[in-house]
Amino acid sequence: MPLRVVSYNIHSQRDDAAALVAVARSTAPDVMIVQEGPRRLRWRQRSAALAASFGLVVAAGGLPALGNLLLTSLRVRVTGTRCQRFPLTPGRHLRGAAYADCLVGRDARFTVAGSHLSTDPAERPAQAERFARELTGAPAPVIVGADLNEEADGPAWAVVAAGRTDAAVAADRADRPTFPRGPLHRRIDALFVDPRITVVHYDVVDTPQTRLASDHLPILADLLLPGPD
């Protein structure tokens, strides 16, 4: 069963709002994994409004997941959700994750998860461990989208990637940065999938609009979900 997934750090909607909406709608995802979504005052209404502007609905996340938000098209049925908060390190920002168990068609099930790890290299590995541990025993093939705040040679990246396919590597596009601002162009956002899921297409959407919409570039992947065992 085909599934289009976008993973996107939207920079707390601080940039060009019209460009952000245009980018989201142009990618036409079945699932959008959002980092830095609404997490404070009126977060439910703001999350619903954001999803509607993208042509999607809220599946999970928001304040309980500390800004991690899972959005879906009406093609996807959500059968269960949960949120996670990582322990607070004094002086640092709270971080967390969102999870949703989903169904496409009659029997193509998958679990989608999103997180945004700390900018502190000493704090990230423990968060990655908790994030990965929550996915152990997921009832269906897992799709993970995350802003890991480090590149593929980092320890937290290795923990989240373990046992999963890096969609960028599978598509031979691991050289494409997702964080283009500043002097260093880095791939710090990733999409990992269960080995049973086929990566049909992967790209980092780099256009004039995406440069206006956020400080990160969106990841877009076309996947093929396995049928029931």
Only one residue has tokens 């019209």, namely 18
pLDDT for the residue numbered 181: 72
DSSP assignment string, 83-121: EEEPPPPTTS---EEEEEEEEETTTEEEEEEEEE--S-T
Q: What does the pLDDT read at residue 180? A: 84
Distance CA 174, CA 189 (A): 11
The 10 Å Cβ neighbour count of residue 44 is: 11
pTM to 2 decimal places: 0.96
Residue 201 bridge partners (DSSP): 222
Tens place of pLDDT for every residue, the chain, 229 residues? 999 999 999 999 999 999 999 999 999 999 999 999 998 889 999 999 999 999 999 999 999 999 999 999 999 999 999 999 998 877 678 899 999 999 999 889 999 999 999 999 999 999 999 999 999 988 899 999 999 999 999 999 999 999 999 999 999 999 999 998 765 589 999 999 999 999 999 999 999 999 999 999 999 999 999 977 6
User: Taking a C-beta distance cutoff of 8 angstroms, is the pair 133, 104 a contact?
Assistant: no
- Residue ranges of domains in the chain, CATH in brackets: 2-224 (3.60.10.10)
pLDDT at 227: 79
